[in-house]
A and B are shown apart, each in its own frame.
Chain A
Amino acid sequence: MTVPPPTPAANALRDDARTLFNALPWPKAEDEAWRRMDLSFLEPERFVPGATADLTPGAFMEGEATSERAGEALWLGTKIHARLSPEAEAQGVVFGSLAEALSRCPEKVLPFLGKIVPPETGKFAAWNTAQWESGLFFYVPKGVSVALPFLGGHGAGAVQGRAIFPRTLVVLEEGAQATYIEDYTALPAAGENLSSAVVEIALAANARLHYIHLQRWPAGWRHFLKQNARLDRDAALHTLVVATGGDFGRADFGSDLNAPGASARLYGLVFGDGEQRFTHHTHQNHRAPSTTSDLLFKAALRDNARSVYTGLVKIAPEAQKSNAYQASKNILLSKGARANAIPMLEILADDVKCGHGAAVGSLDDDQRFFLMSRGLSREEAERAIVEGFFEDVLQRIPVPGMPDRLRAILDAKLESRG
């Protein structure tokens, strides 16, 4: 089956983005948003666009049987491996290549593509919008509810000196419900690579989405992500972000709560070791009355790893009766670890409840002593405490099997040394 060529509108989006990309400068350390990330080594333009090798489908979320999923769409590097269950297909779900969807059903894609994370957002967003090849489109029609999760993947084989541009668009129509897990990973290779990704999520009235985002790039990868979700009346978004991979990365996540009753929950788990550097920026934009948001970002850092968390909760004057909470909790496990937490509030409505908290500390000595006195070695005790630290977030994931899968990923990293 041949794929029709992209429509003029799709081409225009790319061209405009290219113009913007050329006009914008690379972020500098002086820019407030990039102040704590040393970008002087990046030299982004030395990376050649496009993956040249693939990984196997099994590399994503390995060990999970396909009967437990409603579909997969996995970019292996140069090609996509896609499968959709007959039931989901019959219900009108679209899940697969974004380029293909742009050609076959542009009316489903174009109202949203480049609108939720516009290329004007910044250099990296413009770069992705101009360059993306490996795109995923996930669409659930009105009133359709799919219980089994969908798995999307963005990856590459063992490549060197490449830049890839993963792009995802998720559209849920009124009353639709789904669970979508995305995994970003590649095969280990010597040398450096770059990923500049964009994820856009549009939830119509009463739509509900569980979105789990796993970032598991191997060593040598630099990772940049811009994600935004637009929520309509009474829409609900639960997001979990797990970041464990790459040498360094900056990921921006958030939601625009544009209509009354919209609600967003954002959970983050970051685990850094070695010389990893993570920067996460979140936004909770309350633009309508009676909207709620809740954010809990937890980071554990070992060796010389560093985490920077910045986040902005903005409540507009018309967003009365909204509730927002934002928390950043960080534990430092080694002498060289560092954490910065900068949670911010800008509140312009009065009839609201808004709060935030941040904490940075070391492993609780009392807890460790207690566990060691019960026969655990020092390492086992520390591991148990870190597992406990992440547990309250893991327990909030209502997707069967996911908490265990994530525990396994975190444990593997906890056990590996160096």
Chain B
Amino acid sequence: MGNYHTIATVDQVPSGTLKVFRVKGKRLAVSHVDGSFYAIDDVCTHDDGPLGEGALKGDEVECPRHGARFSVRTGAALTMPAVAPVKAYRVRVDGTHIQVELP
């Protein structure tokens, strides 16, 4: 079990948006979908490049370079050319702080 670290504040991630933040040496893409917050690694498993510039479509993020889609909730790879999931983190909200669980 890890500890929760604050990564952003609630008003930094409005509903329907995805933004990249840094915490403890990692880059995470934080999204706000249907009232909940989610966090995944900001790395497309297809080409190791950043995901954060991709479009958020519902609860999926589309990598801008080759169109691979991932679930922002679970990190699952949904379409080619991605075949491996991206890591997803447990998220909780403490007051106005969005926190992610890190090892």
Q: Which residues of A pack against B, CB within 8 Å?
A: 29-30, 35-36, 38, 40-41
Inter-chain CA distance A35–B25, complex, in Å, is 18
Return 10 A-B CB contacts under 8 Å, by A number.
A29-B49, A29-B50, A30-B49, A35-B48, A35-B49, A36-B48, A38-B27, A40-B22, A40-B27, A41-B25
Tell me the minimal C-beta distance from B50 to chain A in angstroms: 7
- The B23-55 residues at the A interface (CB cut-off 8 A) are 25, 27, 48-50
**Given the complex, which residues of B lie within 8 Å of A38, measured CB to CB?**
27
Inter-chain CA distance A30–B50, complex, in Å, is 10
**Given the complex, which residues of B lie within 8 Å of A35, measured CB to CB?**
48-49
**Given the complex, which residues of B lie within 8 Å of A30, measured CB to CB?**
49
Inter-chain CA distance A41–B50, complex, in Å, is 14
Inter-chain CA distance A35–B47, complex, in Å, is 10
**Given the complex, which residues of B lie within 8 Å of A36, measured CB to CB?**
48
Contact A41 B48 (CB under 8 A): no
Tell me the minimal C-beta distance from A303 to chain B in angstroms: 14
Query: Which A-B residue pairs are the 6 nearest by beta carbons?
Result: A40-B27, A29-B49, A41-B25, A36-B48, A29-B50, A41-B22
**Given the complex, which residues of B lie within 8 Å of A29, measured CB to CB?**
49-50
Q: Which residues of B pack against A, CB within 8 Å?
A: 22, 25, 27, 48-50
**Given the complex, which residues of A lie within 8 Å of B27, measured CB to CB?**
38, 40
Inter-chain CA distance A41–B25, complex, in Å, is 8
Inter-chain CA distance A35–B50, complex, in Å, is 11
**Given the complex, which residues of B lie within 8 Å of A41, measured CB to CB?**
22, 25
Inter-chain CA distance A38–B25, complex, in Å, is 11
Inter-chain CA distance A36–B48, complex, in Å, is 8
Inter-chain CA distance A66–B50, complex, in Å, is 51
**Given the complex, which residues of A lie within 8 Å of B48, measured CB to CB?**
35-36
CB-based nearest B residue for A275 = B25
Inter-chain CA distance A29–B52, complex, in Å, is 13
Inter-chain CA distance A278–B22, complex, in Å, is 22
Inter-chain CA distance A40–B28, complex, in Å, is 13
Inter-chain CA distance A36–B49, complex, in Å, is 8
A29-B50, A41-B22 known; 9 new pairs, CB 8 Å cut-off, are A29-B49, A30-B49, A35-B48, A35-B49, A36-B48, A38-B27, A40-B22, A40-B27, A41-B25
Inter-chain CA distance A36–B27, complex, in Å, is 15
Inter-chain CA distance A29–B42, complex, in Å, is 13
**Given the complex, which residues of A lie within 8 Å of B25, measured CB to CB?**
41
Inter-chain CA distance A287–B27, complex, in Å, is 43
Tell me the minimal C-beta distance from A112 to chain B in angstroms: 39
Tell me the minimal C-beta distance from A177 to chain B in angstroms: 45
Inter-chain CA distance A40–B49, complex, in Å, is 12
CB-based nearest A residue for B42 = A40
Inter-chain CA distance A366–B27, complex, in Å, is 40
Inter-chain CA distance A35–B49, complex, in Å, is 8
Tell me the minimal C-beta distance from A337 to chain B in angstroms: 16
Inter-chain CA distance A77–B22, complex, in Å, is 33
Inter-chain CA distance A36–B25, complex, in Å, is 16
Tell me the minimal C-beta distance from A69 to chain B in angstroms: 41
**Given the complex, which residues of A lie within 8 Å of B22, measured CB to CB?**
40-41
Tell me the minimal C-beta distance from B3 to chain A in angstroms: 18
CB-based nearest A residue for B50 = A29
Inter-chain CA distance A36–B43, complex, in Å, is 12
Tell me the minimal C-beta distance from B48 to chain A in angstroms: 7
CB-based nearest A residue for B25 = A41
Tell me the minimal C-beta distance from B42 to chain A in angstroms: 9
Inter-chain CA distance A16–B50, complex, in Å, is 35
Inter-chain CA distance A41–B22, complex, in Å, is 9
Tell me the minimal C-beta distance from A60 to chain B in angstroms: 31
**Given the complex, which residues of A lie within 8 Å of B49, measured CB to CB?**
29-30, 35
CB-based nearest A residue for B48 = A36
Tell me the minimal C-beta distance from A155 to chain B in angstroms: 26
Inter-chain CA distance A40–B50, complex, in Å, is 11
Inter-chain CA distance A189–B27, complex, in Å, is 26
Inter-chain CA distance A260–B12, complex, in Å, is 63
